[in-house]
């Protein structure tokens, strides 16, 4: 990063690979694009990999990717922040608004921007809660430092944006000022009507997205094993990760005797994923009852995008899910981590196609009326106007 031109009017920082097949990339694209439209240009600072260029320009938007960090996640996160800090010091400029999704970008931004720059902390997750799931050996001292950084960002950002009331309540409990907190639910768009994906002449249940422990994929596999009498039914798993990341789940499917009936797809982009969503019989979001989903909260895009496709969802009965869908109207809510009850709910809907059709139509209407990306971006526009970005 040797370019010494001033920074553009707006900056969006996210410790995520962009673009990617993850739901986070959809959110980043929508929010960063709107920020740069309002500001007349901007810099998107994200993670990269060997398949993506370190820098590129798309019209008035510059994209810089941090690609050279170590394999250790925490060391890479510190390098991400240090490089952003150097970028701010070297290029200066007249930043009017800086938006960030995590403390890795938030700490250097809040320390390095000028007094006239407004800041937005977009809290979709908290590393102090999420990282122990991926790294169970992470030490208490490290987690304490992360919580300190998160609270520091919450105290200093001009505005805090989060996608669910559940997360908002938990942020207030952490000390966030409710007067600076805005809830902007995630969104989805009703897709066109693509033809069925070529390998799927059969009815199928659909799971798509990442495969972290809190997603509950083992519960779904065990529930599917209880539906063996639906001989033509398949389970399609569109995983937003490399195939090596799902080896434990494939072994579980083999152990349960369902491997021949589980169809895998990997790292599909949105265009390739749309047909699988649109033609699913049912979509499943078997989130676990854990701190990541309860103490922090989430806002599952997989539920919204399935509803937008007119497909009923069978999901775990958690507060964050009840913010999005209503049991019996848009699908069914079941106790988390109970394969037998998940299988029972799936069975009832599989046996009543008219009820599925009614729920699918109600789901699509809910997206159009209150949960579209247009609705989300209108709320984001109000945040920017309140911060003087006109």
| Of the candidates 331, 215, 327, the residue with the CA atom closest to the CA atom of residue 281 | 331
**pLDDT value of residue 90:** 80
Q: Which residues of the chain have pLDDT under 50?
A: 1-2
- Same domain assignment for residues 183 and 211: no
Q: Would residue 195 count as lying in a domain?
A: no
Same domain for 22 and 95: yes
Contact 212, 134 (CB under 8 A): yes
| Res 22: pLDDT | 80
φ, ψ for residue 236 (rounded to 5)? -100, 125
Radius of gyration of the chain from its Cα atoms, rounded to whole angstroms? 21
- Is there a domain that residue 192 lies in? no
Predicted model pTM: 0.89
Q: pLDDT digits over 347-365, tens only?
A: 999 999 999 999 999 999 9
- Cα angle 85, 88, 94; round to 5: 155
- Domain membership of residue 4 (yes or no) is no
**In a shared domain, residues 181 and 212:** no
pLDDT digits (tens, 9 = 90+) for 98-118: 999 999 999 999 998 888 899
Question: What's residue 5's pLDDT?
Answer: 66
pLDDT tens profile 141-154: 999 999 999 999 99
Q: Are residues 127 and 273 in the same domain?
A: no
The sheet with strand 181-183 has its strands ordered as 55-58, 61-66, 42-47, 10-17, 97-100, 118-122, 159-162, 181-183
Q: Are residues 218 and 345 in the same domain?
A: yes
> 171 and 112: one domain?
yes
**What pLDDT is attached to residue 1?**
44
- Domain containing 326 equals 204-370
Is 1 within a domain?
A: no
- 298 belongs to a structural domain: yes
Number of domains in the chain: 2
Residues 39 and 144 in one domain: yes
- Same structural domain, 215 and 357: yes
């Amino acid at each position: 990063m040797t370019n010494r031109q001033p920074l553009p009017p707006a900056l969006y920082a996210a410790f995520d690979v962009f673009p990617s097949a993850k739901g986070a990339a959809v959110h980043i694209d929508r929010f960063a694009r709107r920020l740069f439209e309002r500001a007349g240009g901007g810099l998107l600072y994200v993670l990269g990999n060997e398949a993506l260029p370190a820098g590129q320009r798309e019209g008035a938007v510059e994209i810089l990717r941090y690609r050279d960090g170590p394999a250790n996640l925490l060391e890479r996160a510190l390098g991400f922040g240090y490089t952003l800090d150097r970028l701010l010091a070297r290029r200066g400029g007249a930043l009017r608004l800086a938006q960030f999704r995590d403390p890795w970008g938030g700490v250097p931004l809040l320390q390095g921007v000028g007094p006239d720059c407004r800041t937005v902390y977009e809290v979709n997750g908290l590393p102090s809660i999420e990282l122990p799931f991926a790294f169970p050996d992470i030490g208490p001292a490290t987690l304490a430092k992360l919580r300190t950084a998160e609270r520091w960002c919450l105290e200093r950002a001009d505005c805090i944006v989060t996608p669910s009331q559940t997360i908002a309540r938990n942020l207030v409990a952490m000390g966030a000022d409710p007067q600076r907190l805005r809830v902007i639910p995630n969104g989805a768009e009703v897709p066109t009507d693509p033809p069925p994906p070529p390998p799927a002449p059969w009815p199928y249940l659909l799971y798509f997205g990442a495969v972290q422990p809190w997603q509950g994929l083992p519960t779904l596999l065990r529930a599917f094993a209880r539906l063996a009498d639906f001989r033509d039914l398949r389970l399609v798993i569109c995983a937003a990760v490399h195939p090596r990341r799902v080896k434990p789940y494939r072994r579980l499917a083999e152990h349960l005797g369902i491997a021949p009936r589980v169809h895998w797809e990997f790292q599909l982009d949105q265009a390739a994923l749309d047909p699988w969503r649109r033609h699913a019989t049912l979509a499943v979001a078997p989130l676990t009852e854990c701190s990541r989903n309860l103490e922090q909260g989430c806002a599952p895009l997989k539920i919204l995008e399935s509803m937008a496709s007119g497909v009923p969802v069978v999901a775990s009965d958690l507060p964050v899910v009840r913010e999005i869908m209503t049991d019996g109207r848009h699908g069914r809510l079941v106790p988390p981590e109970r394969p037998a009850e998940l299988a029972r709910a799936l069975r009832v809907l599989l046996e009543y196609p008219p009820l599925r059709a009614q729920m699918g139509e109600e789901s699509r209407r809910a997206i159009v009326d209150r949960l579209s990306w247009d609705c989300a971006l209108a709320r984001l526009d109000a945040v920017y106007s309140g911060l003087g970005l006109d």
